[in-house]
A = this chain, B = another copy of it.
């Protein structure tokens, strides 16, 4: 009944038992543990030990641990399995987990998997594989409990008891008609609290929240959040029930999508591997394209500086404030874009709100610009002791830069989404590069106007 706190000592103990070949002790330990914890322990051990330990586990637990392991370990295990062992594991998997595994495995392993599944399962796997990545269809499972509208509660329970053991969830059951059209949903709670003779039709909820097979997984996950659902039924073009998505998949999607947004916002091309499972070449490949693109864009900023070389030579002090102006512009724009990108993801903002967003950001920009300029003005005069006109040049540039930065920062993500791009790429790094150029142009324009150079 204790969470495994002292993992290191625990792993040492496992290693010791392994070396002493105390296999039945090991089995007893594992039988009391959670699949996710066992898989975490396995990943800490020498790879060559895993197949042996895996064979100690009872069949159902073995399959559950298998699902939790990383694709490399899964591939290694499958390659070591006999055909019978492989069949045993595959038989115990939920279809959506089997699909996840097939998607991650190299071709030769997939071939062995397909050869060792029964034709019915194979067909179900292929059915799900045909849906595009990130669609509701691709994350659904087809193992749900379906009821008929004319059943009684008693009959429904009989059906649930008979078929429920293999279903991913039995807590929401779906009611379909003769043509597999989805006509209602009913929770086990409702069934339990109802009289045995009541007809399902009279109990079921007909106002169902559902998803379409091709709907984006993020939209589906947002529905879970909005309506606090345990599962969402997935229907095809003809409104026929083809599967369900369960809350645990929705939780994964919420977390994955947030991770993806964070990476894109930091100019990284997202992949779905964990930090240490991504090797350095993959990491390099994920980071270099944006770095290169942004480096090239930044050279335009350099060209602006070059073209104002004379002005800078005349007033060398101006150079000292370039980093401050560029950074503050970038930060201001980054704040607006991050806020708007997140609000778009959470569906708090949509395209129609664009003018409300701009109006809000414009006022926030003025407030921020005036505050920062005032602080800066005092500092320029009292600490840096530069002339009033140079100080004015810097401070007016600051206000104008922040204004542009916030407007660009809030507008670009919304426009990107409208034309079908991912808003998250319109985040700080991109905005910074753009705002750098603008801040310099404003700066030199102001300098030539105020300082007459």
Contacts and interface: CB of A to CB of B under 8 A. Distances in A.
A433 interface: yes
A367 B279 CA distance: 12
B295 A324 contact: yes
A160 interface: yes
Contacts of A192: 157, 160-161, 164, 170, 188
Interface string A51-89: 000000000000000000000000000000000000000
Given A251-B247, A339-B275, A320 B295 contact: no
Contacts of A301: 323-324, 327
Contacts of A291: 328, 331-332, 335, 368, 372
A54 to B, nearest CB: 19
Residues of A contacting B: mostly: helix
Interface residues of A, number: 117
A338 B183 contact: no
Interface stretch (A117-125, A129-137, A259-267, A415-423): A259-267
B1 A208 contact: yes
A210 B334 contact: no
Contact of A342 (B170, B262, B281, B339): B262
Nearest to A308: B319
Of A160, A319, A363, most B-chain CB atoms within 10 Å: A319
Interface string A131-149: 0000000000000000000
A262 B165 CA distance: 41
B275 A348 contact: yes
Contact of A290 (B306, B326, B331, B356): B331
A320 B312 CA distance: 11
A355 interface: no
Interface in A307-347: 309, 312-313, 316-317, 319-324, 326-328, 330-332, 334-335, 337-343, 346
Interface in A227-271: 227-228, 230, 239, 247-248, 250-252, 254-255, 258-259, 261-263, 265-268
A21 interface: no
A349 interface: yes
Interface in A385-436: 427-429, 432-433, 436
Given A259-B346, A334-B429, A322 B305 contact: yes
A146 B342 CA distance: 40
Given A207-B34, A349-B275, A367-B284, A319 B324 contact: no
A36 interface: yes
B305 A266 contact: no
A452 interface: no
Contacts of A292: 371-372, 375
A450 interface: no
B170 A189 contact: yes
A178 interface: no
Nearest to A352: B8
23 contacts: A1-B210, A3-B210, A161-B193, A164-B193, A170-B192, A171-B230, A225-B248, A225-B252, A250-B251, A254-B254, A254-B255, A261-B262, A262-B338, A263-B342, A265-B266, A275-B348, A276-B353, A284-B368, A287-B364, A292-B371, A295-B327, A312-B319, A330-B432
Given A266-B339, A302-B321, 16 more contacts: A1-B183, A1-B210, A228-B248, A230-B247, A254-B254, A259-B346, A267-B334, A268-B339, A276-B360, A280-B363, A284-B364, A291-B331, A291-B372, A306-B319, A322-B323, A327-B436
Q: Which 5 pairs across A and B sit closest by C-beta, in order of nearness? A: A266-B338, A258-B258, A301-B323, A298-B324, A302-B320
